[in-house]
Structure 1
Amino acid sequence: MAKRYWLMKSEPDAYGWNDLEAEGEGTWDGVRNHRAANNLRAMQVGDEAFFYHSNIGKEIVGIVTISQSGLTDPSDPEGKWAAVKVKPVRKVARPVSLKQMKADPRLAEMEMLKLSRLSVAEVTPEDWDYILTLADR
């Protein structure tokens, strides 16, 4: 199966890029939206995701890889929500802001922009490559 790409939002004052880097591997849990949880369930080891700081910054700050998939959210006592483990790959050279993505017609169809409250969104390979060009300038 081909590698898939994602965007995962986290509030940096709760769990930010620096926290993940310090840990080396983190559990992505606490997602309580059905579509976002389905995206977590669809992830496979080796998939990559943009790490997006929501609330504060509102920008893509790094890239992570899915290191474990198919987990049950440890913060869910009923065991019905999904989780994955992620490892940092690298910080992006230049953060890509929400404002920049919204203003770019090439990104108009991004799931994250169309469903702005979605905390875990799929990213097409074309959008992934394009965002990387913006982040690595």
Structure 2
Amino acid sequence: MGKPHYWLLKTEPGEWSWEDQASNGGVSKWDGVKNHQAIKHLKSLHIHDLCFFYHSGTKSRCIVGVVTVIREWYEDDDGGGAVDVKAVGEMRRHVDLKEMKVELKNYYKEFGLFRQPRLSVVPVPDDVWMKIYDLGNGYEGDGVCVSDDD
């Protein structure tokens, strides 16, 4: 098994929120992707890949959590396709799009969230993943102990 790849999955919180994802054991089918390039990306997800869970829309544009792929691409009953993901943990601090644009300004060419903002599934380069991880102080369940006593 190789190193997991990193992705960003985008959803409108009114349709599917982090709270929805985290409930019921944290497992869900990630479906409803219509854009051909986003579908191609979704088909590229592998077991154990990690994905930032991104709230899009007018009220909230931020990374709120991390999920992992537990089932690769499959045809679903609606005639489309899906992957299954499981919540790993909520970001310790949500990372807003405006903050990312400032802090990641040198990554505009390589980070799909900036180049193609309407795309719902985008790869995240390793260095961008680590920068966003740091901006959010990691996520619950990442194995890093964070306390107020430090």
What residue in structure 1 maps to residue 70 of structure 2? 67
Structure 1 unaligned blocks of 5 or more: none
What residue in structure 1 maps to residue 86 of structure 2? 87
In the TM superposition, structure 1's runs of 4+ consecutive aligned residues that sit over 3 Å from their partners are none
Q: Deviations for 1:13-68, whole angstroms, at most 9, x for unmatched residues?
A: 11000001112201100000011101110000100000000103100000000010
What residue in structure 1 maps to residue 48 of structure 2? 46
| Residue 106 of structure 2 corresponds to residue 106 of structure 1 | yes
Preserved CA contact (<8 Å) 1:30 1:75: no
| Residue 60 of structure 2 corresponds to residue 57 of structure 1 | yes
By how many angstroms is 1:102 displaced? 1.6
Classify the secondary structure of the residue corresponding to 2:23.
helix
Give 2:84's aligned amino acid: K
Preserved CA contact (<8 Å) 1:25 1:86: yes
Q: How many residues align?
A: 133
TM-score by length of 1: 0.91
By how many angstroms is 1:98 displaced? 0.9
What residue in structure 1 maps to residue 38 of structure 2? 36
Preserved CA contact (<8 Å) 1:29 1:75: no
Preserved CA contact (<8 Å) 1:30 1:73: no
TM-score by length of 2: 0.84
Classify the secondary structure of the residue corresponding to 1:15.
coil
By how many angstroms is 1:106 displaced? 3.5
Preserved CA contact (<8 Å) 1:59 1:95: yes
By how many angstroms is 1:103 displaced? 2.0
Calculate the aligned-residue CA RMSD, in Å: 1.3
What residue in structure 1 maps to residue 133 of structure 2? 132
Structure 2 unaligned blocks of 5 or more: 139-150
Classify the secondary structure of the residue corresponding to 1:13.
coil
By how many angstroms is 1:82 displaced? 2.9
Name the % identity.
36
The structure carrying a bigger helix percent of its residues is 1
By how many angstroms is 1:107 displaced? 3.3
